[in-house]
Amino acid sequence: MNACDILDPRRVVLDIHGTNKREIIEQLSRTVIDTHPEIDLESLVDALVAREEASTTAIADGIAIPHGKVTLGEEVIAAFGRSKQGLNFESIDGSPTHLFFLLVSPNDHPSLHLRWLAHLAVLLKNPDLRTSLREADTIVEIFETLKKEEQALSEAQ
């Protein structure tokens, strides 16, 4: 598993903004629709917001992994958003959220969905990675940072 395999540069927002969860989710979801127009924006946003209403996906340390399942063939899709100043995403630790990994999985592959969630959580445990993602100036730097961390994780296993 490699986050760069499911993340496309067109689905990276370096200065995400929003005053509430729905606005943030909509902004990231629009990047998914730009690369996958067969997905209905409203259905995607509704699925992601419904998941947020069940419990927040802002897991602490400035990270949120909003996720949901839709009718989507076989692939998992990720989008990434970053807010240098941090946004209120109702994090379990009460801190502002800086890094948003949106994960969209096919309805009929729940185990794949769970594996990707676990992988992203492990990847983002590294505080140096989180700092590098917050400080990156370009999308290229975001991808280089992720690739470097994925390589380190791979070598550690």
CA 126 and chain centroid, separation = 16
> Rounded to the nearest 10 degrees, how much is the dihedral formed by the CA atoms of 101, 105, 111, 115?
-20
Whether 103 and 76 have beta carbons less than 8 Å apart is answered as yes
How many Å apart are CA 20 and CA 77, to the nearest integer? 23
Active site residues: 67
Q: Please state whether 61 falls in left (phi above 0), alpha (psi between -120 and 50) or beta.
A: left
Tell how strand 67-70 and strand 63-64 pair up.
unpaired
